[in-house]
Structure 1
Amino acid sequence: MHTSTTSTGDLTPWTAEDLKAATGGVWFGTIPQGEFKRILTDSRDAEAGDVFLALKGERFDAHQFLHQVQEQQCQVAIVEQVNERLDMAQLIVPDTRLALGALGTYRRRQYPNLKVIALTGSSGKTTTKEMLGAILSRLAPTLITRGNLNNDLGVPMMLLELCPQHEYAVMELGASHQGEIDYTSALVQPHVAGILNIGTAHLGEFGGREGICKAKSEIYQHVNGTAIVPAHDDFTGQIKNIAPQPQLSFGTGGDVYATQIQLYAQSAEFTLHTPHGQADVQLPFAGQHNVENALAATAFAIAIGINLSDIVAGLAQAKGAKGRLNFIQHQQYLFIDDTYNANPTSMRAAADVLTQQQGIKVMVVGDIGELGDDAVAEHQQLGQDLNTKQLDAVVAVGKYACAMAEGHDKIHAFSTQAEALPYLTNLIEKHQPQTMSFLFKGSRYTHMETLMADVMEKL
C-alpha cells in the first residue's frame, strides 16, 4: 500500500535561490550554498541540512530559539528579525507565517500534474479523509493531511512534504475564523473541493451556523474542477448557490447515495449508487454517519476519475484514525475510543453506535468546546437527546456536566475525571460478570482517553 511519506530522502531539496524566489526575502550575510532537505518550524527537530522557519505568534516567538537550532548544527533560518550574533545564514521576510504559506504555494506549483482534493465540514472530515486515503493510496502514492494539520500553518507544512512520486493529495481544511479556508484553499489549488456538512462545531467563533456556512464555503473559491456538495443538509440550498459548476452531490436525493443500508455493531453494508453505476459496499466502520462519510469519499473520488471498483475496494480496506471509533476488546468489556474530538453532531452519532453494542451500555462524555454563548444550551440539548437513547448510563465530566445532567436520572455529572473514576469502577463491579460496552468521547482538550485508560487499568 502506498501512503504519504515524510522521509527526507524523498523530499525535493531547496536551494537558497528557491527560498528567496518563494518568499521574496533578502539574505543577510553570506548566501548559503548547496541544498537543504527540509523546512521546519519546531526548533527541537532542527539539524544539519535543515532550514528553520521562526514563527511568531501572540504568545510565542521562535526567534528566541535561533541560538538553540544553531547549536544543533542547523545553519539556515528564515526570520523576521536578524540575530547578528549568530553565525548562520538568515533570510529576512516581513512575516514568517505568510512566508510559510508562500513556500507551500511554491512547492505545490512544482507539481502541476498532482490531482488534489480539498475537503471541509463540521464533522466527519478526518474519517472521510482516511477513506479517501485508502481509496487513492491503493492506486498511487498519496499525500494525506496528517493529524490536525488543517489550518493556516498546518496546510502549508503538509504541502512541503510533496514528493515527485505523489500522484494524489487529500487535504483537510479547517476553519477557526473567516478567511482561513480562502487562504488555505488558495495554497492547495484543488481540482475537487467540497463541504461535508454544516454543524455546530466552532459556533462561538462564527456567531452561528450561517457564519460557519460562509466560512466553509470559501473552499469553492479556488477549485479548478468539480464542487462536491451535500444533498441532505440544512444549508444545501446556500451551498449549491455558492459552489461553482460542475457540481456532484452526495447523500439522500443526491448523485451519490446509498440504499439497503445494514448497520452492525462494528461495520455497515449498503448498496452504493453513483452516476457510473452501483455496487455493494462492505464498510469496516460503524454508524449511519460513516455511511454518509463513505458517500462523500465516493463523490470526491469519482470527481477525480477513480473507477467504482477501486472505490469499493478502497472503502473495504479503510481504517479509522486513532481516537475515531476505535474498538478495543478487554476481557468481557468493549471500550470504544472516540476521544479524538467532539461536536454536538458527532456526540449523537457516537451514541447511536454505542446503542448497537452488546450488554450494559455506558457513554462517558467530556465537554464540547468552541460553542461560545451557546455552550450551556447545546449541552442541555445534548443531555436531553442522550437521555432518550437506548443507553444504560451516561457519565458527563467537566464544566458543562451539570447542564447535560439537569433533570435526567440516566445522566450522572462529575466535575473532574478523578471524581468520575470511582463511579465507573463501582458500576463495573455492580454489573459483573455481565458484558459491558463503554464509549468515551469529548473535545480534544478534555483528554477523555486518560479516563478510559484509568478505567481499563482498574479491570
Structure 2
Amino acid sequence: MIALSLAEIADITGGRPHDIPDPSVRITGPVVIDSRQVEPGSLFVAFAGEQVDGHDYAERAVAAGAAAVLAARPVGVPAVVVPDVEKALGALARAVVERLGTDVVALTGSAGKTSTKDLIAQVLQEHAPTVWTPGSLNNEIGLPLTALKATGETRHLVLEMGARGIGHIAYLTGLTPPRIGLVLNVGTAHIGEFGGREQIAQAKGELVESLPPEADGGIAVLNADDPLVRPMSARTKARTVLFGEAEDADVRATDVRMTPGGQPSFTLHTPTGCGEVTLRLYGEHHVSNALAAAAVAHVLGMSTPEIATALSGAGTLSRWRMEVTERADGVTIVNDAYNANPESMRAALRALAAMGGAARANGGRTWAVLGPMAELGDASLAEHDAVGRLAVRLNVSKLVAVGGREASWLQLGAYNEGSWGEESVLVSDAQAAVDLLRSELRPGDVVLVKASRSIGLERVALALLEREGEVAGR
C-alpha cells in the first residue's frame, strides 16, 4: 500500500484516532486481517467474526509490529475507530486506487474466474508490474485487501469479483472502479440463491454497467460464444471487445486441438496478428479462459507474439484447481477440489477424458472421485444426475461418488446411463474414498477429485499424495 498517515486514514474512513500519540505516523507495511501476517508498519484490521473477534488480537498485532489497528471499538493500543470496519476498509481501498491511477481490470463469471485471473496476471506481469487477487478472495473483504497491495509502481490491478446476489458486483465495483471489465460466462453456479440464469446474467452484467464510457477509456471484454454474455454490450457505454471461437470475435481461436496429455493448443488471432499457443493447463475449457486473458492483454497494448508466449508459459497459481501431480509409482492425481458447479464439473470430466487417452496407452484407468455441488436449489437432482451420466458417456473407467443424498444422485445417474457392476460406487465420506483408492490404484491411473468447497474433498487428493498436513492451512 502507498504510505498513509493515521490522520489520513481517519479522514478517509470517517474514523477517530484513539490512543494514537502521533497521528502523523505512517502505515508503511501491508494491510492484514490476520495478526500472524503482521509486518513492521502494518495496519491490522479487526473484524468480529462468528467464531473469532479480531479485536481480541489487537494487542498481539501491535506487539508484532503493526503501527495501528482499524477497529470498531477502542482496543487499548493505537487505533482508528470506525462505525463499520468493512465499509472503512472499502473506503480505504477506493482512496488508494484513486491516488495510484492504476489500470483496474475486473472480471466475473459463473465458472473459471480464478483460472482466468491467474492467466491474466501472468500475462500482464510480462508487460508491467501487476497485482492480482490471491486465490478466490473476491468478496467485500478480499477485494479491498488485494487493492491495498498495490504500490506506486503497480501498473495493472487485476481483481476477481464474485456474487451471491443482485447488487454484489455493483458494490464491489464501487470500491475499486474498473476501467476494463471482463465477463466470462453465465452458468448455473449458485442458481439456488439467484433463482435462474437470467438473474445470474443480471448480476454479472453489473460489471459492465460500472465501466466508464468509451471516450474515457472504458472497455467491456465479453464472451462472444455465450448467448447471455454477448448481449451485455447493450448495457454499457464502454467499447466492447469480443473473445471466443465465433468468427466475428475480435480475439479468437482456430485449429483448437489437444495434446496426448490433455493440454490444449490453438492459433490465437487478434486484430494485430496471430500466434501459436500451447497451454500448460489441462482441459479444452481453458481455451476460452486463455482467449479472455489474451483479449485483456491486447487492449492493454501487448503484441500478439508477446501474448502467445506468455500464455504458453503460464501455469496454475491457485491451489486445488486442476493441480496435476504424478506420483513416483506412475499414478496421476488431478486435484480440482477447491469448488464445483455443473459447468466446471463437466469441464473437469472432459479434461479427465482427454488425459485418459495417454493413461489407457500405458495400461491405466481414469477415476472420477466426485462429491456434491452446493447451492443448486431445485436443479440439484437433475444436475447431479446429468454429471453422473456424463462420466459414463465420456468412458470414465471408475466413478466414486462421495457423500450423502447428492452423491447418490451422481451414482444413480451413472447407473441409469449404463454404469453397472463395479464401474461406479457410492462411499460415505472422504476417508472411505481414500481407503478404496489406496487398495485399487495401479500405475498409469489418473484420478480426478472434485466437489464443492464445503465438502472438503481435497482431503482425498492430499491423502493420496501423502500431504494431508496441507488441509489445516486452507
Q: TM-score, normalization: structure 1?
A: 0.90
Q: 1:172 to 1:419 in 2, by over 3 A?
A: same
Across the two proteins, how many residue pairs are aligned to each other? 440
In 1: Cα distance, 2:31 partner to 2:347 partner? 39
Match of 2:122 in 1: 134
1:235 aligns with: 228
Residue 146 of structure 1 is matched in structure 2 by: 134
CA pair 283-75 structure 1, distance change in 2 beyond 3 A:
closer
Between 392-401 and 364-373, report the one with greater CA deviation.
364-373
Q: Cα–Cα, structure 1 residues 118 and 457, in superposed 2: closer, same or farther, change >3 Å?
A: closer
Q: Is the 8 A contact 1:56 1:96 kept in 2?
A: no
Aligned-pair CA distance for 1:373: 3.5
**1:37-436 mapped onto 2 (5 Å cutoff):** 37=28, 38-46=30-38, 49-57=41-49, 60-72=52-64, 74=66, 76-83=68-75, 86=76, 88-112=77-101, 114-224=102-212, 225-253=218-246, 254-264=249-259, 265-321=261-317, 322-330=319-327, 331-357=329-355, 358-359=359-360, 360-399=365-404, 400-406=406-412, 408=415, 409=420, 410-428=423-441, 432=442, 435-436=444-445
Q: Deviations over 1:93-123 (max 9, x none)?
A: 21110000001011101111x2221111111
Cα RMSD of the aligned pairs, angstroms, is 2.1
Moved more, 28-37 or 165-174: 28-37
1:26 aligns with 2:16: yes
The residue type paired with residue 461 of structure 2 is M
Identity of paired residues, percent?
Answer: 32
CA contact (8 A) 2:27 2:41 kept: yes
Instruction: Give the TM-score of the pair, scaled to structure 2.
Output: 0.87
Partner secondary structure for residue 215 of structure 1? helix
Unaligned ranges ≥5, structure 2? 213-217, 468-474
Give the superposition deviation at 1:30.
4.1
- Per-residue deviation, 1:240: 2.9
Q: CA deviation at 1:312?
A: 0.8
Question: 1: CA distance between counterparts of 2:220 and 2:380?
Answer: 33
1:80 Cα deviation after fit: 2.1
Where 1:278 maps in the other structure, the secondary structure is strand
Corresponding residue number in structure 2 for 1:5:
none
Is 1:13–2:18 an aligned residue pair?
no
Q: Which amino acid aligns with 2:198?
A: E
1:67 and 1:30, CA in 2 relative to 1: closer, same or farther beyond 3 A?
closer
In the TM superposition, residue 57 of structure 1 has moved relative to its aligned partner by 4.5
- Pick which of 221-230 and 233-242 moved more: 233-242
Q: CA deviation at 1:58?
A: 5.5
Equivalent residue in structure 2 for 1:35, among 15, 22, 26: 26
| Contact 1:263-1:286 within 8 A present in 2 as well | no
Measured in 2, the distance between the counterparts of 1:402 and 1:172 equals 34
Assess if the C-alpha contact under 8 Å between 1:201 and 1:371 holds in 2. Answer: yes
Judge conservation of contact 1:230–1:236 (CA < 8 Å) in 2: yes
State the secondary structure of the residue aligned to 2:242: strand
Summarize the Cα distance change of 1:244–1:384 in structure 2 as closer, same or farther, 3 Å threshold: farther
Name 2:472's counterpart in structure 1: none
Cα displacement (A) at 1:260: 0.8
